Copies of this chain bind each other. A is one copy, B any other.
Amino acid sequence: MTQLDLDPTNTRAADDTAAEPARLGRKRDHSRDADILDAAVDVLAEEGYDGMTIDMVAARAKAGKATLYRRWASKGELVIDAVACMKKDDLDLDRLPDTGTLRGDLIGMIKPRTLEEAEKKLQVMAGLMSVLARSPELSDAISQAIIEPRAEVNRILLRRAIERGEIAADCDVDTIALISPSMAAYRTLVLKKPVDREFLVSMIDGVILPAVGIRP
C-alpha cells in the first residue's frame, strides 16, 4: 500500500489560512469541498483506504482529478479531512433525551437516522483499520469523528444517572460507556449482522443495565 504522506513540510495545498494578498483571477469554489469530501467518504466506506483511488473520488464528485490536487496535497490529506468531516452529521450533545431514567435515555438514543450514520461510519473505520497503526493523525481523526461522540453520549447519560442516585457512584462509567459502541462494531464488521433496535434493546436490558446494578 502507499504511504500516508505525513511530512509536515508538505503543506496542505488547500491551506488558505495564510493572509490572502488579494489574488486576482477566478476564485476557488469552496462550495465543492463538501461534495468532494462526501464522495471520498462514500468511496472509503465501499473500497477501504487502499482500494480507494483519486479517480474514483473525482468521478463520484463529478470533479477533475486536478481539482482535488489543487485542494489537498495528497491522498492521505484528503482522507484525513474526509474522516474529520464525518463528525458534522453527528449527535447533538445539547439535545440528548432526558426521560428521568437511564433506560429511557438509552432507548431514546435509538433512532433510525442515527443507526444508518453509525453503520456507514463503521464501514469507513473498517476500511481504514490497516492504516490506523501507521498514522497517528488519521487515528485521531477516526477517534474524534467516529468513536468518541458515541462514547461521550453514553458517559453523559451515565453520569446523570449517578447524580440522580439511580445507579452507584462508583461504577466504571468509562468502561460501561464503551460496551455498546464496541459490541456494535463487532456485530457489524465481524458478524455482519444489522445493528437494529432489537439488538440495542437487548444490549441495554441484558448487559448495560445489569452491569450498573439495575435489575429488570
Residues of A within 8 A of B (CB): 1, 47-51, 123, 125-133, 139, 142-143, 147, 171-172, 175-176, 178-179, 181-183, 185-187, 189-190, 192, 202-203, 206-207, 210-213, 215
Contacts and interface: CB of A to CB of B under 8 A. Distances in A.
12 contacts: A1-B51, A48-B131, A50-B51, A129-B130, A176-B206, A179-B179, A182-B182, A185-B190, A207-B211, A210-B210, A210-B211, A213-B215
Given A1-B48, A125-B190, 11 more contacts: A1-B1, A1-B50, A50-B50, A50-B130, A130-B130, A171-B206, A175-B202, A176-B207, A178-B186, A181-B186, A185-B185
Nearest to A127: B130
Contact of A51 (B127, B130, B203): B130
Copies of this subunit: 2
A201 to B, nearest CB: 12
A55 to B, nearest CB: 14
A182 B175 contact: no
Contacts of A131: 48
A178 B206 CA distance: 13
A143 B190 contact: yes
B132 A189 contact: yes
Nearest to A49: B130
A206 B202 contact: no
